[in-house]
């Protein structure tokens, strides 16, 4: 009888040990699942090359029209490349035009680099200095686009009224304004980085070129 009771007790203890072991294992599995979800790869960005010549390439990226944050990140990421001379994004048309220096690397290498930025822009953390520069550039681009739209409307009005395209007072004013704004933009974009470099130098910090940092890369404390 004592042997039977002892056997039953052993069985109960064994079952309870299994249950406890099972309970201990469940949380790590759940945690592992959460980690897997957090480290899941980013979505693939669909794109197509609309036009390309040496020093200039135009992409059509449908996500630009749907995701403003991605559009800003991509523009900032491309602008941070020293080989890029100009970036013009048109979210409504889901397109972006990039001008770059010819002869630094081959056109195929530059195209592959830009395609890589298209795929990874959503995972990139852009320094505040670049963001400030991009905001200023975006304001100037908006003004230029507004002038271009007004010029087209004025030209269409001239065609309807005079049956031909003519250079009137408004056309001269708009054309001159566009040239002035473009020069002002170039000067401002050139001055901004130098101003920030001097402010950092006065604070006793070593001036270094801006670098993009991956979101998964740990920060140095």
Burial class (CB in 10 A: 0-12, 13-18, 19+), 96: buried
3-state secondary structure of 25: helix
Element (H, E) at 10: helix 2-38
Q: Note if the pTM is more than 0.75.
A: no
Per-residue pLDDT of the chain (221 residues; tens, 9 = 90+): 544 455 555 555 555 555 444 444 545 444 444 434 444 446 789 999 999 999 999 999 999 999 988 988 898 889 888 899 999 999 889 999 999 999 999 999 999 999 999 999 887 665 555 566 677 888 888 899 999 999 999 888 888 888 887 788 888 999 999 999 988 888 887 776 544 443 343 433 333 444 444 444 444 43
Q: Could you give the CA distance from residue 180 to residue 202 in angstroms, rounded to a whole number? A: 33
Decide the pairing of beta strands 48-53 and 56-60. Answer: antiparallel
- Which residues contact residue 178 at a Cβ distance below 8 angstroms, ignoring those fewer than 6 apart? 144, 147, 148, 151
Q: Could you give the CA distance from residue 211 to residue 77 in angstroms, rounded to a whole number? A: 10
Cα 40 to chain centroid distance, Å, stands at 19
Neighbours of 219 (CB within 10 A): 6
Q: Could you give the CA distance from residue 75 to residue 133 in angstroms, rounded to a whole number? A: 11
Q: Which two tokens stand for residue 210?
A: 């801006």
């Amino acid at each position: 009888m004592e042997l039977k009771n002892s056997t039953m007790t052993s069985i109960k203890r064994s079952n309870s040990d299994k249950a406890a072991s099972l309970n201990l294992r469940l949380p790590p599995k759940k945690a592992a699942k959460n980690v897997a979800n957090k480290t899941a790869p980013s979505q693939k960005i669909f794109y197509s090359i609309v036009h390309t010549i040496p020093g200039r390439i135009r992409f059509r990226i449908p996500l630009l029209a749907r995701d403003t944050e991605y559009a800003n990140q991509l523009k900032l990421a491309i602008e941070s490349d020293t080989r890029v001379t100009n970036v013009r994004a048109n979210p409504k048309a889901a397109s972006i035009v990039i001008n770059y220096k010819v002869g630094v690397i081959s056109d195929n290498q530059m195209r592959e680099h830009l395609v890589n930025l298209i795929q990874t822009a959503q995972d990139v953390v852009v320094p505040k200095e670049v963001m400030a520069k991009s905001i200023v550039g975006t304001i100037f681009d908006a003004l230029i686009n507004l002038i271009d739209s007004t010029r087209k409307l004025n030209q269409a009005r001239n065609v309807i009224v005079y049956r031909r395209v003519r250079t009137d007072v408004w056309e001269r004013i708009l054309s001159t304004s566009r040239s002035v704004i473009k020069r002002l933009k170039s000067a401002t974009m050139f001055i901004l980085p130098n101003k920030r470099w001097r402010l950092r130098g006065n604070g006793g910090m070593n001036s270094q070129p801006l670098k993009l940092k991956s979101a998964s890369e740990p920060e140095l404390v």
